[in-house]
A and B are shown apart, each in its own frame.
Chain A
Amino acid sequence: MLHVYLQVLVYGVYVGSLYGLAAVGLALVFGVMEILQIAHGSVVMLGAYAAFWFFNLYGIDPLLSLPLVAIIFFLVGAFLYRTLFAPTTKLPTEVKVRNSMLLAFGLILVLDNLTTIAWTGNIRTVSTFYQGLSFGFLGIQIPCVGLLSLILAALLIVGLHLFLKKTYLGKSIRATAQSAESASFTGVNIGRTYSIATGIATALGACAGALVLLSSGVDPTIGMDWTLKSLLVAVLAGTGNVGGVFVCGLFFGVLEAIGSIFMGPYKEVIGLVIFLAVLIWRPQGLFSKQR
């Protein structure tokens, strides 16, 4: 029986790393500009499609096309900011959150339906040599894709963390998140910083999508699920702490996996109950420093 639990734990960590990676993008956009980008799940979905088409048309492995997907979606994100979200940034916080969420909701409808029209509702998968591989360790099976996803997600998160801590651009993003006005008084171009932050968040979401493609394939309806998971994890962690969001993603993945043993199809309930509990007792998030 212990083996079953360990096996479930492995699965949970793997899925959780993807939750964490997806949620970091959402948390970044919300943390920096208080825009609730609920179309983030659709970005994950489109990232998976991008990786799929690179594989299908040009035979590029999804792990190798990851940088290409990241660059494309960085530009997509910057474009979305400039065209869609920029007008909301001047609004007072409360109105901004509401209006940006409505805009993003419209974006979900457009993106998901366009995807269905363009590429049908069929599930798309890729098959690579390493997808079937797994190796035994203390009697449990660790799938190769799972391990790769975990490592890549962790690397991206560490990379983002270092970028925000060490580089001038990263510091200016953090400064802008704390006070856009003070940042502009130090010479930061706020519009440009917002574009870059949205671009990075979108690229991270798309990378999560490419990894999702490897494990479970993609169809046009997966977006909403990823939005919900990202939102749950981001709220759980609170914004302003990249590592915290990732840890919460892992935690959430493990919890859901263990829940699936006891509650079967009702495992989603666990996440939502925790979500409510956090909102009641620690509304600023588990890892948030400020109130």
Chain B
Amino acid sequence: MLRVDGIDLSYGDLQALWGVSLTVNKGEIVALIGANGAGKSTLLRAITGMVRIRKGSLDFNGVSLSKVPTHVIVEAGIYMVPEGRGLFPGMTVVENLEMGAFIRRAREGKGKNLERMFDMFPILSKRRNQMAGSLSGGEQQMLAIAKGLMSDPALLLIDEMSSGLSPIMVKQMIQLVKRIRDEGMSILIVEQNVFSALKLADRGYVIENGRIVTQGESASLLKDGHIKAAYLGIT
């Protein structure tokens, strides 16, 4: 479904990605793990068209994404929940959800999806006329994901899902992501919390200094000596 093939990307003279390849299949949860500054967010920004790649190809359901602007990529079915959640703090919860259904394809089902989100997240229903900026961190993360689901995406990208959340919230988020996957969506999560990310995902990619160094089934990655030592602190 999503195929990233050998992409290079630079910020000016600074090369951030070196021949990165990655695929996400339908109904799959894929984790992208790596340290700060390894290139995880850059890869997501490349997939969403926020930065331009220099070499290689980005392809979603057979359509090339490498030269189209962000709003067209969203219309094609890729929705990104950015780090920091990408909410509109001065707009209400309902308005944020409505903005999630901004693209033409999603507007028709807006009313139905809104009901569905309030079913899924009763707390958002309670807060519906509150400003998004006044919600707690966990509520904001729920709103961010609900806002994404409003666009009926085929692929959801979630950057640093668990950052700033309590352990209980992280658990809830993990349940939520599984539930979304069971509805047929594909999810690419980017995490610093390597253990919980690999527990959740079907497959994982490890990125270091802008290169994919290891990839495979989550279960086997959890047993990988290098990953254990470098990310899980187990020797």
Residue with the highest number of chain A CB atoms closer than 10 Å, among B50, B70, B79, B151: B70
Which residue of A186, A189, A240, A289 contacts B69 across the interface (Cβ within 8 Å)?
Answer: A189
Q: Which of B67-86 contact A (CB under 8 A)?
A: 69-71, 74-75, 79-80, 82, 86
Residue A134 at the chain B interface, CB threshold 8 Å: no
Bound together, the chains give a CA A117 to CA B100 distance in angstroms of 50
Decide: A178 and B89 in contact? CB cutoff 8 A. Answer: yes
Scan residues 131-182 of chain A and give those whose CB is less than 8 A from a CB of chain B.
Answer: 168, 171-172, 174-175, 178-179, 181-182
User: In the docked arrangement, what's the CA distance between A189 and B71, Å?
Assistant: 6
Q: Given contacts A185-B48, A185-B79, A186-B99, are A179 and B71 in contact (CB under 8 A)? A: no
Known contacts A168-B102, A174-B91; A188 and B71 CB within 8 A of each other: yes
Say yes or no: B75 contacts A181, CB within 8 Å.
no
Task: Give Cα distance in the complex from A178 to B84, angstroms.
Answer: 14
Q: Are A186 and B147 in contact (CB under 8 A)?
A: yes
Interfacial chain A residues near B11, Cβ < 8 Å: none
Asked whether B75 lies within 8 Å of A187 as measured between CB atoms, the reply is yes
A154→B57 CA distance, assembly (Å): 53
Is B5 an interface position by the 8 A CB rule? Answer: no
A246 to B102 CA separation, bound complex (whole angstroms): 29
Docked complex Cα distance between A171 and B101 (Å): 12
Most chain B beta-carbon neighbours within 10 Å: one of A179, A184, A188, A189: A184
Chain A residues with CB below 8 A from B48, complex form: 185
Assembly CA distance A179 to B90 (angstroms): 10
- Which chain B residues in 26-77 approach chain A with CB under 8 Å? 48, 50, 69-71, 74-75
Q: Out of A171, A182, A188, A289, name the residue touching B82 (CB < 8 Å).
A: A182
Interface pair B87/A181, CB less than 8 Å apart: no
B102 touches A186 (CB 8 A): yes
Whether B151 and A186, one on each chain, are in contact in the complex, defined by CB atoms closer than 8 angstroms, is: yes
Select one of B91, B98, B151 contacting A187, CB under 8 A: B151
Contact with B91, one of A168, A178, A181, A189 (Cβ below 8 angstroms): A178
Q: Which A residues are CB-close (under 8 A) to B151?
A: 186-187
Closest to A165 in B: B95
Residue of B whose beta carbon sits closest to that of A176:
B88
How many angstroms from the CA of A26 to the CA of B18 in the assembled complex?
Answer: 45
* Structural contact, B99 and A175, CB atoms closer than 8 A: yes
Q: Does B169 contact A (CB under 8 A)?
A: no
Contact, CB under 8 Å: B86 / A172: no
Q: Which residues of A, 164-223, contact B by the 8 Å Cβ criterion?
A: 168, 171-172, 174-175, 178-179, 181-190
Residues in B neighbouring A185, C-beta threshold 8 A:
48, 70, 74, 79-80, 82, 86
Q: How far, in whole Å, are A188 and B107 apart by their CA atoms in the complex?
A: 13
For residue A148, give the distance in angstroms from its CB to the closest CB of chain B. Answer: 34
Residue A122 CB within 8 A of the other chain: no
Residue B103 at the chain A interface, CB threshold 8 Å:
yes
Please, which residues of chain A bring their CB within 8 A of the CB of B88?
Answer: 174-175, 178-179, 182-183
Chain B CB within 8 A of A290 CB = yes
CB < 8 Å neighbour of B90 from A186, A188, A240: A240
Residues of A within 8 A of B103 (CB): 186-187
Give the complex CA separation of A172 and B98 in angstroms: 10
B87 and A188: CB pair below 8 A?
no
> In the bound complex, what is the Cα–Cα distance between A174 and B102 (angstroms)?
13
Complex Cα gap A175–B100 (Å): 11
Q: Please give, as numbers and ranges, the residues of chain B lying within 8 Å of A182 by CB-CB distance.
A: 82, 86-88
- What residues of chain A lie closer than 8 Å to B86, measured between beta carbons? 179, 181-182, 185-186
Task: A240 to B71: give the CA distance in the assembly, Å.
Answer: 24
The smallest beta-carbon distance between A210 and chain B, in angstroms, is 32
The residue that B102 contacts in the complex, of A172, A178, A181, A240, with Cβ under 8 A, is: A172
Q: Smallest CB–CB gap between A169 and chain B, Å?
A: 10
Q: Which of B143-161 contact A (CB under 8 A)?
A: 147, 151
Residue pair B82, A181 in contact (C-beta under 8 Å): yes
Kindly identify which residue among B50, B74, B89, B100 contacts A181, using a CB–CB cutoff of 8 Å: B50
Q: A171-B99, A186-B147 are in contact. List 20 more A-B contacts (CB 8 A).
A: A172-B99, A175-B91, A175-B99, A178-B90, A178-B91, A179-B86, A181-B86, A182-B82, A182-B87, A184-B50, A185-B48, A185-B79, A186-B100, A186-B103, A186-B151, A187-B75, A187-B103, A188-B102, A189-B69, A289-B90
Task: Give 30 A-B contacts (CB < 8 Å), ordered by A residue.
Answer: A168-B98, A168-B102, A168-B107, A171-B95, A171-B99, A172-B99, A172-B102, A175-B99, A178-B90, A178-B91, A179-B88, A181-B82, A182-B87, A182-B88, A183-B88, A183-B99, A184-B69, A184-B71, A185-B80, A185-B86, A186-B103, A186-B151, A187-B70, A187-B71, A187-B102, A187-B103, A187-B151, A190-B71, A289-B90, A290-B90
Partner-B contacts on A (CB < 8 A): 168, 171-172, 174-175, 178-179, 181-190, 240, 289-290
